[in-house]
Amino acid sequence: MSRRVLIYFIVLLGGCGENDNNEFLPSGDADPTYGPCEERASSGSVTSVDLRIESPLPGSFTTGCARGVVTDLEAYILVDVLSPCFVDVAAAGVSGCCPNIPAGKNYSIVMVYRDGPSRKNLAEQIDSFVELPTASAPVMSLSFAGAVDESQYDADHDGTGNLTEWCNGTL
């Protein structure tokens, strides 16, 4: 088999990280637990940055949700094509650390919320583009305050988003 055909199949099989049920398909069995971002000395230039995530939990999951229980709720951060970074979810908010993001680039950063037991994505928040210059601090805090968007996630294709169904207990 030629290299070109092999590369094509790898890209084709890699897909976009979701199947037809909008379930996120993580790569491998990586440990989803990250410790707090460690402060480290910087000599003025860094090659990577740790993202400290400290964000309120959107009302869509609490006050605006009949279910109002976050024990089954999970969240992960997507930074462009890098591996997902799972963060902790509690009633008070979402927190965690995504270490070693290569510096010197601009990134589209997305927080995706999913139902833990079913592994179905519910909604996302996008923090547009974040610049991580090589002259940045080695640890950067990030909070997601944007609108929650469930428009991409409708596992049963009935026109009602997964978040709405999750809140109503019908997912």
Please tell me the pTM assigned to this model: 0.74
pLDDT band (50, 70, 90) for residue 7: very low
The sign of the CA dihedral 86, 88, 93, 97 is negative
Q: What residue numbers bound the domain in which 73 lies?
A: 3-168
CATH at 25: 2.60.40.10
pLDDT value for 25:
36
- Calculate mean pLDDT across residues 126-140: 78
- Count of domains forming the chain: 1
Percent of the chain with pLDDT over 90: 27
Between 20-29, 75-84, 97-106, the lowest mean confidence (pLDDT) is in 20-29
- Calculate mean pLDDT across residues 50-69: 83
Q: Cβ(34)–Cβ(28) under 8 Å?
A: no
Nearest to 34 by CA among 94, 72, 110, 85: 85
